[in-house]
Amino acid sequence: MDLSGKTALITGASRGIGAAAARAFAQAGAKVALVARGSDAIAELAGEIGEAAVAIPCDITRYWEVEKAVQNCVDAHGGLDILVNNAGAIEPIAHLAEADPDAWGDVIDINLKGVFHGMRAALPVMQAKGGGTILTIGSGAAHNPIEAWSHYCASKAGALMLTRMVHKEYGEAGIRALSLSPGTVATQMQREIKSSGINPVSQLDWSDHIPPEWVAKTLVWMCGSETDDWLGAEISLRDESIRARVGLV
């Protein structure tokens, strides 16, 4: 996939899937805007990538910050063609009757409202340009209840509906919206899940998780017309046929 001349804004770019995606999009020729609360981490990554990258500290739970981040991306790179809604959280893991309401809401703010904020800020820019691609990191948790993950399951289900809404309202205007359910990935989030000791996911071995680079490579692939059959829907990286099409081994 050649993304030369394109610009991608990636949220949660300080580590894990986000950092891997930043490298993958840059390697594919795109200019990248790295968005995260961890300013030192994204500054270091931008330095590693080089002049194709700009670091933009931002709290995605605050719309005005996301709107400003998009504007900073446009100012730095001349536009915005691809949005990767990657930032996410799962802590604190807790059963409903013991969940702290404020902490529960914080996860909704990141995983659901943060996705909306990204879409809301990026859509006018993409519309003015005549098109764009919005990719959101989904989860099997959007489709099935998982013990002690009520906040995560609810937020991921909502984020998938937002993907469907973008396709419904802007698909004919050239906006491509897709969700990617990667399965379990070897990131800090899986360490948090492991330490909780709750539900079968926490019992998985580290070797059961795929590397974040697989997810990053798939996100780049999703920017091409080969994935148009999934517009407004979700691609599962658990599907061996998808892995084969992406070239993962």
Task: Give CA–CA dist 241/221, Å, rounded.
Answer: 14
pLDDT, position 1: 83
pLDDT in tens, 111-127: 999 999 999 999 999 99
> Is pTM beyond 0.85 here?
yes
Mark whether 152 is an active-site residue.
Answer: yes
Q: Which domains does the chain have, with CATH numbers?
A: 7-246 (3.40.50.720)
Catalytic residue among 25, 152, 221, 230: 152
pLDDT, position 206: 75
| pLDDT surpassing 80 at residue 187 | no
| pLDDT surpassing 80 at residue 204 | no
| pLDDT surpassing 90 at residue 188 | no
pLDDT in tens, 101-113: 999 999 999 999 9
